[in-house]
Amino acid sequence: MDIKDLVLQTIDELSQPSEDSYTHQSVTIHSTSAIDTQNMQSIQGMPSVQNIRAPFAQAQSEALREECEFLEMLQERLLVLFEGLKAEHNKELQTKLNLTINFLEYELSVITERLSDIKR
């Protein structure tokens, strides 16, 4: 009977959780909740997606506005060139051609400079 009692006692001990396992589970739960609390605090301290997008949207709208201004000025200059070419007081073809070439060289340099600014 001693062996039978010993086996039954061992089975009972194995089937019943010990206090050590409760302590271990409790420590695990408390440490997990502490980590979760730290994670929540760090997440709350991070800027939201909207706060990150706002400066990007402002920079993008600023770049778009500057590009529109540049194109409007280019349009005005081209209109002035065409008016100058149509002018009655300047009938010499060579003068009109020189005026056009100089203007186009200037505009080409402005566009090249603008492209290099955009690429930076």
Quick one: pLDDT at residue 104?
Answer: 92
Quick one: pLDDT at residue 41?
Answer: 62
pLDDT tens-digit profile of 8-39? 777 777 777 665 555 555 555 555 565 666 66
Quick one: pLDDT at residue 27?
Answer: 53
DSSP H or E run through 70: helix 49-86
Quick one: pLDDT at residue 105?
Answer: 93
The pair of structure tokens assigned to 92 is 């010499």
pLDDT tens-digit profile of 86-118? 877 767 888 888 888 999 999 999 999 988 988
d(Cα 26, Cα 52) in Å, to the nearest integer?
40
Looking at residue 48, the DSSP 8-state letter turns out to be: P
d(Cα 78, Cα 80) in Å, to the nearest integer?
5
Quick one: pLDDT at residue 88?
Answer: 77
Contact between 99 and 80 under an 8 Å Cβ cutoff? The reply is no
pLDDT tens-digit profile of 46-73? 666 566 667 777 878 888 888 889 889 9
Contact between 108 and 97 under an 8 Å Cβ cutoff? The reply is no
